[in-house]
Amino acid sequence: MTSHPALTDKSFQKLIDDTAKSLGFSTKVMPSGAGHDAQEIARIGPVGMIFIPSIGGISHSPKEFSRPQDIENGANVLLQTVLAFDKAH
């Protein structure tokens, strides 16, 4: 199987960034080398991603762990981003 990189939509990146900052969170733009559903969805429409901190930076591993508060914060960024997108469209 061959997978191709999928670029995130710049307007989604900005909306997610603005939303996170409006909730009082710091942000960082980062690439992801992992396979995600976004790679497939990007074939038919724009995509964006929200990452939350993992202890030790471990990701996509059984050893991955994120604090419950970080998970809640990420979910709130997602919710508020979806609401802002809906309001704008």
Give the pLDDT score at 41: 87
Distances (CA, A) of 25 to 30, 42, 75, 79, 89: 16, 26, 13, 14, 25
Q: Identify which of 83, 88, 78, 64 has the alpha carbon closest to the alpha carbon of residue 25.
A: 78
Q: What CATH class is the domain 10-88?
A: mainly alpha
Give the pLDDT score at 34: 64
- Between 44 and 77, residue with greater pLDDT: 77
Sequence ranges of the domains in the chain? 10-88
pTM of the full predicted structure?
0.87
Give the C-alpha separation, 19 to 67, whole Å: 21
Quote the Cα angle for 49-7-37, to 5°. 50
Give the C-alpha separation, 29 to 8, whole Å: 11
**What are the tens digits of pLDDT across the range 17-71?**
999 999 999 999 888 766 678 888 888 988 889 999 999 999 889 999 999 999 9
